[in-house]
Protein backbone atom coordinates (compact mmCIF):
# COMPACT_ATOMS: atom_id res chain seq x y z
CA UNK A 1 0.00 0.00 0.00
CA UNK A 2 2.81 2.44 0.86
CA UNK A 3 4.11 2.08 -2.68
CA UNK A 4 0.97 3.82 -3.93
CA UNK A 5 1.04 6.63 -1.40
CA UNK A 6 3.03 9.84 -1.33
CA UNK A 7 5.21 10.53 1.71
CA UNK A 8 3.64 13.99 2.00
CA UNK A 9 0.16 15.39 1.40
CA UNK A 10 -1.27 18.90 1.37
CA UNK A 11 -5.01 19.04 2.09
CA UNK A 12 -6.53 22.46 1.38
CA UNK A 13 -9.99 23.99 1.57
CA UNK A 14 -12.17 26.15 3.82
CA UNK A 15 -12.27 25.37 7.52
CA UNK A 16 -14.78 22.77 8.71
CA UNK A 17 -15.15 21.03 5.36
CA UNK A 18 -13.39 17.92 6.62
CA UNK A 19 -9.70 18.69 6.03
CA UNK A 20 -8.47 17.45 9.40
CA UNK A 21 -10.92 14.54 9.36
CA UNK A 22 -9.47 13.40 6.04
CA UNK A 23 -5.93 13.74 7.41
CA UNK A 24 -6.82 11.59 10.44
CA UNK A 25 -8.52 9.04 8.19
CA UNK A 26 -5.31 8.82 6.17
CA UNK A 27 -3.35 8.19 9.38
CA UNK A 28 -5.83 5.42 10.23
CA UNK A 29 -5.44 3.91 6.78
CA UNK A 30 -1.67 3.82 7.18
CA UNK A 31 -1.81 2.08 10.56
CA UNK A 32 -4.72 -0.36 10.28
CA UNK A 33 -4.34 -4.00 9.28
CA UNK A 34 -6.95 -5.80 7.15
CA UNK A 35 -9.08 -8.13 9.28
CA UNK A 36 -10.06 -11.68 8.28
CA UNK A 37 -13.54 -11.91 6.82
CA UNK A 38 -16.01 -13.96 8.88
CA UNK A 39 -17.05 -15.90 5.80
CA UNK A 40 -13.56 -16.83 4.70
CA UNK A 41 -13.24 -14.22 2.00
CA UNK A 42 -10.18 -12.01 1.47
CA UNK A 43 -9.25 -9.79 4.45
CA UNK A 44 -10.97 -6.40 4.49
CA UNK A 45 -9.84 -3.05 5.84
CA UNK A 46 -12.56 -1.68 8.12
CA UNK A 47 -11.56 1.60 9.78
CA UNK A 48 -14.76 1.69 11.82
CA UNK A 49 -13.75 -1.39 13.84
CA UNK A 50 -9.96 -1.08 13.74
CA UNK A 51 -8.51 -0.67 17.28
CA UNK A 52 -5.64 1.45 15.95
CA UNK A 53 -8.07 3.79 14.18
CA UNK A 54 -10.06 4.23 17.38
CA UNK A 55 -6.89 5.17 19.27
CA UNK A 56 -5.80 7.57 16.53
CA UNK A 57 -9.15 9.38 16.54
CA UNK A 58 -8.96 9.75 20.31
CA UNK A 59 -5.43 11.16 20.05
CA UNK A 60 -3.94 8.21 21.94
CA UNK A 61 -1.82 6.52 19.27
CA UNK A 62 1.93 6.75 19.86
CA UNK A 63 2.78 7.03 16.16
CA UNK A 64 0.32 9.72 15.11
CA UNK A 65 0.81 13.35 16.15
CA UNK A 66 -1.26 16.44 15.36
CA UNK A 67 0.77 19.65 15.44
CA UNK A 68 -0.72 23.15 15.53
CA UNK A 69 0.05 26.50 17.13
CA UNK A 70 -1.13 25.30 20.56
CA UNK A 71 0.92 22.08 20.59
CA UNK A 72 3.24 22.07 23.64
CA UNK A 73 6.95 21.92 22.92
CA UNK A 74 9.08 19.17 24.44
CA UNK A 75 11.56 21.70 25.76
CA UNK A 76 8.70 23.43 27.61
CA UNK A 77 7.64 20.20 29.27
CA UNK A 78 11.23 19.35 30.19
CA UNK A 79 11.97 22.76 31.68
CA UNK A 80 8.81 22.87 33.77
CA UNK A 81 8.72 26.63 33.36
CA UNK A 82 5.02 26.90 32.62
CA UNK A 83 5.50 27.45 28.89
CA UNK A 84 3.25 24.51 27.99
CA UNK A 85 0.11 26.39 28.98
CA UNK A 86 1.39 29.39 27.03
CA UNK A 87 1.28 27.32 23.84
CA UNK A 88 -2.32 28.36 23.23
CA UNK A 89 -1.16 31.98 22.81
CA UNK A 90 1.31 31.19 20.01
CA UNK A 91 0.32 32.57 16.63
CA UNK A 92 2.79 30.50 14.62
CA UNK A 93 4.00 26.93 14.38
CA UNK A 94 7.60 27.47 15.41
CA UNK A 95 10.85 25.91 14.31
CA UNK A 96 10.93 24.08 17.66
CA UNK A 97 7.68 22.34 16.73
CA UNK A 98 9.39 21.08 13.58
CA UNK A 99 12.49 20.07 15.55
CA UNK A 100 10.22 17.94 17.76
CA UNK A 101 8.67 16.44 14.62
CA UNK A 102 12.11 15.65 13.18
CA UNK A 103 13.18 14.01 16.44
CA UNK A 104 10.11 11.75 16.48
CA UNK A 105 10.35 11.04 12.75
CA UNK A 106 13.84 9.60 13.29
CA UNK A 107 12.39 6.91 15.57
CA UNK A 108 10.87 3.65 14.39
CA UNK A 109 7.09 3.25 14.75
CA UNK A 110 6.23 2.15 18.29
CA UNK A 111 2.81 0.53 18.00
CA UNK A 112 1.81 0.86 14.34
CA UNK A 113 3.19 0.50 10.84
CA UNK A 114 3.89 4.16 10.15
CA UNK A 115 4.59 7.43 11.87
CA UNK A 116 2.15 10.12 10.69
CA UNK A 117 2.45 13.83 11.46
CA UNK A 118 -0.55 16.05 10.77
CA UNK A 119 0.39 19.74 10.65
CA UNK A 120 -2.96 21.48 11.17
CA UNK A 121 -2.96 25.12 10.06
CA UNK A 122 0.21 24.79 8.02
CA UNK A 123 -0.20 28.37 6.79
CA UNK A 124 0.86 29.34 10.34
CA UNK A 125 4.36 27.88 9.89
CA UNK A 126 6.98 30.50 10.69
CA UNK A 127 9.55 31.06 7.92
CA UNK A 128 12.18 29.20 9.96
CA UNK A 129 9.76 26.33 10.61
CA UNK A 130 8.89 26.10 6.91
CA UNK A 131 12.59 25.89 5.99
CA UNK A 132 13.19 23.18 8.59
CA UNK A 133 10.17 21.20 7.40
CA UNK A 134 11.43 21.42 3.83
CA UNK A 135 14.53 19.46 4.79
CA UNK A 136 12.36 16.66 6.16
CA UNK A 137 10.23 16.61 3.02
CA UNK A 138 13.34 16.38 0.85
CA UNK A 139 14.67 13.31 2.70
CA UNK A 140 11.59 11.23 3.61
CA UNK A 141 11.84 7.94 5.50
CA UNK A 142 9.90 4.95 4.20
CA UNK A 143 7.67 4.70 7.28
CA UNK A 144 7.09 8.44 7.87
CA UNK A 145 4.21 10.42 6.38
CA UNK A 146 3.52 14.14 6.74
CA UNK A 147 0.06 15.59 6.10
CA UNK A 148 -0.25 19.37 5.90
CA UNK A 149 -3.67 20.95 6.41
CA UNK A 150 -4.12 24.53 5.17
CA UNK A 151 -6.72 26.93 3.85
CA UNK A 152 -4.91 27.50 0.55
CA UNK A 153 -1.79 26.21 -1.15
CA UNK A 154 -0.81 29.80 -1.94
CA UNK A 155 -0.39 30.45 1.78
CA UNK A 156 2.62 28.10 1.81
CA UNK A 157 6.05 28.36 0.17
CA UNK A 158 6.06 26.83 -3.30
CA UNK A 159 9.07 24.72 -2.31
CA UNK A 160 6.89 22.91 0.23
CA UNK A 161 3.80 22.69 -1.98
CA UNK A 162 5.80 21.14 -4.83
CA UNK A 163 6.91 18.26 -2.60
CA UNK A 164 3.37 17.31 -1.54
CA UNK A 165 0.55 15.42 -3.19
CA UNK A 166 -2.25 18.01 -3.26
CA UNK A 167 -5.85 17.28 -2.25
CA UNK A 168 -8.29 20.19 -2.55
CA UNK A 169 -11.63 20.02 -0.73
CA UNK A 170 -14.60 22.12 -1.77
CA UNK A 171 -17.64 23.37 0.09
CA UNK A 172 -20.44 20.81 0.26
CA UNK A 173 -23.92 21.51 -1.11
CA UNK A 174 -26.55 22.43 1.48
CA UNK A 175 -28.73 19.59 0.19
CA UNK A 176 -26.01 17.03 0.90
CA UNK A 177 -25.35 18.46 4.37
CA UNK A 178 -29.05 18.49 5.27
CA UNK A 179 -29.43 14.90 4.10
CA UNK A 180 -26.41 13.84 6.16
CA UNK A 181 -27.73 15.57 9.30
CA UNK A 182 -31.12 13.91 8.91
CA UNK A 183 -29.85 10.42 8.11
CA UNK A 184 -26.84 10.10 10.40
CA UNK A 185 -27.84 12.38 13.29
CA UNK A 186 -31.65 12.06 13.13
CA UNK A 187 -32.11 15.81 12.80
CA UNK A 188 -35.59 17.08 12.01
CA UNK A 189 -35.66 17.86 8.25
CA UNK A 190 -36.56 21.54 8.74
CA UNK A 191 -33.81 22.07 11.33
CA UNK A 192 -31.31 20.15 9.19
CA UNK A 193 -32.06 22.36 6.19
CA UNK A 194 -31.70 25.54 8.24
CA UNK A 195 -28.33 24.48 9.67
CA UNK A 196 -27.17 23.34 6.23
CA UNK A 197 -27.82 26.81 4.81
CA UNK A 198 -26.17 28.59 7.72
CA UNK A 199 -23.11 26.32 7.46
CA UNK A 200 -22.14 27.88 4.09
CA UNK A 201 -21.05 24.50 2.78
CA UNK A 202 -19.10 23.48 5.90
CA UNK A 203 -20.45 20.17 7.24
CA UNK A 204 -18.24 20.36 10.33
CA UNK A 205 -19.98 23.57 11.42
CA UNK A 206 -23.43 22.10 10.78
CA UNK A 207 -22.68 19.00 12.86
CA UNK A 208 -21.26 21.13 15.70
CA UNK A 209 -24.31 23.41 15.63
CA UNK A 210 -26.63 20.40 15.75
CA UNK A 211 -24.82 18.85 18.71
CA UNK A 212 -24.10 22.06 20.65
CA UNK A 213 -26.72 24.86 20.78
CA UNK A 214 -23.97 27.27 21.86
CA UNK A 215 -22.54 27.16 18.32
CA UNK A 216 -25.79 28.51 16.90
CA UNK A 217 -25.94 31.13 19.64
CA UNK A 218 -22.43 32.31 18.74
CA UNK A 219 -23.54 32.59 15.11
CA UNK A 220 -26.56 34.69 16.14
CA UNK A 221 -24.38 36.97 18.27
CA UNK A 222 -21.91 37.40 15.41
CA UNK A 223 -24.71 38.22 12.97
CA UNK A 224 -26.05 40.84 15.39
CA UNK A 225 -22.60 42.41 15.72
CA UNK A 226 -22.21 42.55 11.94
CA UNK A 227 -25.60 44.20 11.45
CA UNK A 228 -25.24 46.68 14.31
CA UNK A 229 -21.78 47.68 13.10
CA UNK A 230 -22.81 47.95 9.46
CA UNK A 231 -25.75 50.17 10.40
CA UNK A 232 -23.83 52.14 13.00
CA UNK A 233 -22.03 55.46 12.81
CA UNK A 234 -18.26 55.88 12.59
CA UNK A 235 -17.86 55.89 16.38
CA UNK A 236 -19.68 52.57 16.69
CA UNK A 237 -17.56 51.10 13.93
CA UNK A 238 -14.34 52.16 15.62
CA UNK A 239 -15.54 50.71 18.93
CA UNK A 240 -16.13 47.42 17.11
CA UNK A 241 -12.68 47.62 15.49
CA UNK A 242 -11.05 48.16 18.88
CA UNK A 243 -12.94 45.22 20.42
CA UNK A 244 -12.22 42.86 17.51
CA UNK A 245 -8.53 43.76 17.31
CA UNK A 246 -8.25 43.31 21.09
CA UNK A 247 -9.53 39.76 20.72
CA UNK A 248 -7.13 38.95 17.88
CA UNK A 249 -4.06 38.16 19.96
CA UNK A 250 -5.86 35.68 22.21
CA UNK A 251 -8.29 34.28 19.62
CA UNK A 252 -6.80 34.67 16.16
CA UNK A 253 -8.90 31.92 14.57
CA UNK A 254 -12.10 33.25 16.16
CA UNK A 255 -11.55 36.74 14.75
CA UNK A 256 -10.71 35.41 11.29
CA UNK A 257 -13.85 33.29 11.48
CA UNK A 258 -15.92 36.38 12.32
CA UNK A 259 -14.43 38.21 9.37
CA UNK A 260 -15.35 35.19 7.27
CA UNK A 261 -18.95 35.75 8.38
CA UNK A 262 -18.62 39.36 7.20
CA UNK A 263 -17.70 38.05 3.75
CA UNK A 264 -20.76 35.79 3.78
CA UNK A 265 -22.94 38.81 4.59
CA UNK A 266 -21.59 40.77 1.64
CA UNK A 267 -22.11 37.73 -0.56
CA UNK A 268 -25.73 37.53 0.65
CA UNK A 269 -26.28 41.25 0.06
CA UNK A 270 -25.11 40.81 -3.52
CA UNK A 271 -27.26 37.72 -4.02
CA UNK A 272 -30.30 39.52 -2.59
CA UNK A 273 -29.70 42.52 -4.83
CA UNK A 274 -29.68 40.16 -7.81
CA UNK A 275 -33.12 38.87 -6.82
CA UNK A 276 -31.87 35.46 -5.66
CA UNK A 277 -32.78 35.64 -1.98
CA UNK A 278 -33.63 31.93 -1.88
CA UNK A 279 -29.86 31.29 -2.19
CA UNK A 280 -28.71 33.36 0.78
CA UNK A 281 -26.69 31.83 3.61
CA UNK A 282 -28.04 34.03 6.40
CA UNK A 283 -31.65 33.11 5.71
CA UNK A 284 -32.76 34.17 9.22
CA UNK A 285 -32.11 37.81 8.30
CA UNK A 286 -33.89 38.22 4.96
CA UNK A 287 -35.54 41.53 5.87
CA UNK A 288 -32.20 43.07 6.88
CA UNK A 289 -30.53 41.81 3.71
CA UNK A 290 -33.29 43.25 1.54
CA UNK A 291 -33.16 46.59 3.36
CA UNK A 292 -29.38 46.86 2.91
CA UNK A 293 -29.43 45.69 -0.72
CA UNK A 294 -32.02 48.34 -1.63
CA UNK A 295 -29.72 51.11 -0.38
CA UNK A 296 -26.54 50.04 -2.17
CA UNK A 297 -25.30 49.87 -5.71
CA UNK A 298 -23.31 46.97 -7.11
CA UNK A 299 -20.08 48.92 -6.68
CA UNK A 300 -20.84 49.44 -3.00
CA UNK A 301 -21.28 45.70 -2.49
CA UNK A 302 -17.99 44.97 -4.24
CA UNK A 303 -16.25 47.65 -2.16
CA UNK A 304 -17.56 46.19 1.10
CA UNK A 305 -16.60 42.63 0.22
CA UNK A 306 -13.17 43.72 -0.99
CA UNK A 307 -12.51 45.62 2.23
CA UNK A 308 -13.17 42.49 4.29
CA UNK A 309 -11.15 40.23 2.00
CA UNK A 310 -8.17 42.60 2.07
CA UNK A 311 -8.36 42.79 5.86
CA UNK A 312 -8.27 39.01 6.21
CA UNK A 313 -5.25 38.88 3.91
CA UNK A 314 -3.52 41.64 5.89
CA UNK A 315 -4.14 39.96 9.26
CA UNK A 316 -2.86 36.62 7.96
CA UNK A 317 0.28 38.49 6.88
CA UNK A 318 0.67 39.82 10.46
CA UNK A 319 -0.51 43.37 9.87
CA UNK A 320 -1.33 45.55 12.92
CA UNK A 321 -4.84 44.27 13.81
CA UNK A 322 -6.42 47.50 14.97
CA UNK A 323 -5.14 49.51 12.01
CA UNK A 324 -6.25 46.86 9.51
CA UNK A 325 -9.75 46.58 10.96
CA UNK A 326 -10.20 50.35 11.31
CA UNK A 327 -9.32 50.75 7.62
CA UNK A 328 -11.96 48.11 6.84
CA UNK A 329 -14.53 50.07 8.81
CA UNK A 330 -13.71 53.26 6.87
CA UNK A 331 -14.17 51.43 3.57
CA UNK A 332 -17.61 50.07 4.48
CA UNK A 333 -20.57 51.71 2.71
CA UNK A 334 -23.00 53.56 5.00
CA UNK A 335 -26.48 52.03 5.42
CA UNK A 336 -29.51 52.47 7.65
CA UNK A 337 -31.09 49.40 9.23
CA UNK A 338 -34.45 49.54 10.99
CA UNK A 339 -34.90 48.09 14.47
CA UNK A 340 -37.27 45.41 13.21
CA UNK A 341 -34.68 44.12 10.76
CA UNK A 342 -32.08 43.69 13.51
CA UNK A 343 -33.95 40.68 14.87
CA UNK A 344 -33.52 37.23 13.34
CA UNK A 345 -36.62 35.60 11.84
CA UNK A 346 -35.99 31.95 10.94
CA UNK A 347 -37.68 31.15 7.66
CA UNK A 348 -39.50 27.90 6.89
CA UNK A 349 -37.46 25.12 5.29
CA UNK A 350 -37.52 25.13 1.53
CA UNK A 351 -37.91 28.92 1.28
Q: What is the pLDDT of residues 32-80, one digit of tens each?
A: 877 665 555 555 566 777 888 899 999 999 999 999 988 998 775 444 4
Separation CA 45–CA 33 (nearest Å): 7
**Which class does domain 2-168 fall in?**
alpha beta
Contact present, 97 and 48 (Cβ < 8 Å): no
Separation CA 295–CA 98 (nearest Å): 51
**Number of CB atoms found within 10 A of residue 319's CB:** 15
Is the pTM higher than 0.75?
no
Domain ranges of the chain: 2-168, 212-342
Q: Give me the pLDDT at residue 117, please.
A: 96
Q: Give me the pLDDT at residue 178, please.
A: 94
Between strands 115-120 and 165-168, the pairing is unpaired
Position 141 pLDDT exceeds 70 = yes
Q: What is the mean pLDDT of the chain?
A: 87
**Number of CB atoms found within 10 A of residue 141's CB:** 14
Separation CA 149–CA 122 (nearest Å): 6
* Mean per-residue pLDDT, 166-181: 93
Amino acid sequence: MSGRLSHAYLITGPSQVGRKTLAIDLACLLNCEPQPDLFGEAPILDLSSCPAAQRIRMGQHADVRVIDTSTPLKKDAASGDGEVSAGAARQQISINHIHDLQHDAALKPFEGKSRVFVVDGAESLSPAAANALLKTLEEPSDDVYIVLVASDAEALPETIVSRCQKISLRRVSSEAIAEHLAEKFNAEPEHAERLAKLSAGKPGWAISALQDPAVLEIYTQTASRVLNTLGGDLEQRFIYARELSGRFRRDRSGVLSELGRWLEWWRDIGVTKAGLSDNVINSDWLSALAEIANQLGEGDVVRGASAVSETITALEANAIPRLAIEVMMLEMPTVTISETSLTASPVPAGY
